[in-house]
Amino acid sequence: QVQLVESGGGLVQPGGSLRLSCEASGRTCSNFAMGWFRQAPGKERELVASIRWSGGNLAYGDPVKGRFTISGNNAKSTVSLQMNGLEPEDTAIYYCVAGCRIILSAMRSARSYDYWGQGTQVTVSQ
């Protein structure tokens, strides 16, 4: 059973930056992928960014392209999300996700990820 431990998040003013981190334990599979989804009140969960270690593939949600950067360490099963230029629309609960045997075309789907963290709140406000 994979467990995810998240850190980071909090309150930041518009234009500011935050960094989220996540570590996975209990990983036993190959073709592992990790990333972040978010959910704002009244909205569906959406991809923020994900990384698929086999192939080194990255995927970003359109609203965050050019502002957020995902990085990680396959050997340590860790992933981080650097968020710059934060906007009020980025306010949401951010979930660390992980999954096994995720194919490239499925990286953007929440259903591809079997493991979810507890979530961490990110609030962008004056």
Q: From the first residue on, what is the mean pLDDT of each consecutive set of 10 residues in the chain (126 residues)?
A: 93 98 85 93 96 90 97 92 98 96 90 95 97
Q: Please report the pLDDT score of residue 41 as a whole number.
A: 92
| pLDDT given for residue 104 in this prediction | 86
Strand 68-73's sheet: what is its strand order? 3-7, 18-25, 78-83, 68-73
- pLDDT for 1: 84
Give yes or no for a contact between 77 and 34, defined as CB atoms under 8 angstroms apart: yes
How far apart CA 45 and CA 106 sit, in angstroms, is 15
pLDDT at 45: 96
Burial profile 97-107: b = 16 or more Cβ within 10 angstroms, e = fewer: bbbbebeeeeb
- Contact status, residue 77 vs residue 64, Cβ threshold 8 Å: no
